[in-house]
A = this chain, B = another copy of it.
């Protein structure tokens, strides 16, 4: 027997789901951003994301409102990554019996704030006692519009261009700024504490026929593109010079002894969208995306035939993104 730390989160998921009953009735089972189940005439999207105190957040780094807000954003991001429309969510809250009611009310206010913004009502949930620390698990329910096909991790085709929204790596640098108490790094800290689910952007992208595979960047660009590579059976080739790096990343990353591109590749928790586009659709999608959304979009590489892998300037990337069970985390 071995501890799951050695196996890693994705090895663990693979080991655990291997024994589950066949996914009869599911259009998409475990292994993508959302599960999809056909219910009547509707394709229902389902996903859940848990945040654990001292693992995913610290009370002294984030207000309870920000923690609630982020938990909802993280969960809704999975609906965005399929190109779906969010419909409602369920909140499971765990906390010790001595938790202040006001603290929990502020946490819920953060959830409300985000759900109001995206018009996604809280349909229900559960509250349980824990022995230590707060746990927030949010299950989200969405649907695919009847005339839109979901975008799977498995949809990438050789020749596709790889694009990514925003500035992945900002959230990881923001966490470093919080750890160090560098409060003046407001843009980076906000990337960590107030990620936005790219719901409008994802739904729009799923309406573009040239957009093939899509994923949200939760564990780091290299690792998440690795999921696309593996599920699509393709090689993902990134050009370092094309990686989006904001002014804030460029000036702050060197103070940590690492290049901003390292953060762009391996920093997690940005919840931006990464996707692949047919080459003949690239110009059109990029131009319209930029016109429609106040969000940078950057083409960073190409999809090629070959053994599933992520290459940077021709070399396999060995850096890992955020793995919840990896040693030393």
Q: Please report A residues at the B interface, Cβ cutoff 8 Å.
A: 1-5, 7, 9, 12-13, 15-17, 19-26, 29-31, 34-35, 37, 39-42, 44, 46-52, 54-56, 87-88, 90, 92-95, 97-102, 104-105, 108-109, 111-112, 115-116, 119, 121-133, 135, 137, 139, 141, 143, 324-325, 327, 329
Q: A4-B95, A42-B39, A129-B324 are in contact. Are A20 and B88 (CB under 8 A)?
A: no
CB distance from A128 to the nearest CB of B (A): 5
- Give every chain B residue within 8 A of A132 (Cβ-Cβ): 131-132
**8 contacts across the A-B interface (CB closer than 8 A):** A20-B111, A20-B122, A24-B119, A35-B123, A51-B128, A52-B129, A52-B130, A90-B139
Contact A39 B44 (CB under 8 A): yes
- Give every chain B residue within 8 A of A123 (Cβ-Cβ): 23, 26, 29-30, 35, 37, 46
- Give every chain B residue within 8 A of A102 (Cβ-Cβ): 1
CB distance from A324 to the nearest CB of B (A): 5
Among the listed B9, B22, B99, B112, which residue makes an inter-chain contact with A3, where contact means beta carbons less than 8 Å apart? B99
Contact B128 A55 (CB under 8 A): yes
6 closest residue pairs by CB, A with B? A40-B42, A35-B123, A35-B124, A139-B139, A5-B97, A40-B41
Among the listed B34, B88, B98, which residue makes an inter-chain contact with A46, where contact means beta carbons less than 8 Å apart? B88
- Give every chain B residue within 8 A of A17 (Cβ-Cβ): 108, 122
Contact B129 A21 (CB under 8 A): no
User: What is the bound-complex CA distance between A17 and B50, given in angstroms?
Assistant: 19
Contact B48 A137 (CB under 8 A): yes
Contact A128 B56 (CB under 8 A): yes
- Give every chain B residue within 8 A of A115 (Cβ-Cβ): 20-21
CB distance from A322 to the nearest CB of B (A): 11
Among the listed B39, B52, B100, B141, which residue makes an inter-chain contact with A128, where contact means beta carbons less than 8 Å apart? B52
CB distance from A103 to the nearest CB of B (A): 8
Q: A3-B101, A25-B121, A97-B3 are in contact. Are A47 and B12 (CB under 8 A)?
A: no
Contact A37 B329 (CB under 8 A): no
Contact A12 B127 (CB under 8 A): yes
User: What is the bound-complex CA distance between A29 and B143, given in angstroms?
Assistant: 18
- Give every chain B residue within 8 A of A99 (Cβ-Cβ): 3-4
User: What is the bound-complex CA distance between A135 and B52, given in angstroms?
Assistant: 10
Among the listed B12, B109, B111, B137, which residue makes an inter-chain contact with A92, where contact means beta carbons less than 8 Å apart? B137
User: What is the bound-complex CA distance between A139 and B90, given in angstroms?
Assistant: 8
Among the listed B3, B92, B108, which residue makes an inter-chain contact with A50, where contact means beta carbons less than 8 Å apart? B92
CB distance from A318 to the nearest CB of B (A): 21
Contact A129 B30 (CB under 8 A): no
- Give every chain B residue within 8 A of A29 (Cβ-Cβ): 121-124
User: What is the bound-complex CA distance between A327 and B97, given in angstroms?
Assistant: 8
Among the listed B20, B50, B126, which residue makes an inter-chain contact with A112, where contact means beta carbons less than 8 Å apart? B20
Q: A4-B99, A325-B97 are in contact. Are A127 and B88 (CB under 8 A)?
A: no
Q: A25-B121, A30-B125, A124-B47 are in contact. Are A52 and B3 (CB under 8 A)?
A: no
CB distance from A92 to the nearest CB of B (A): 5
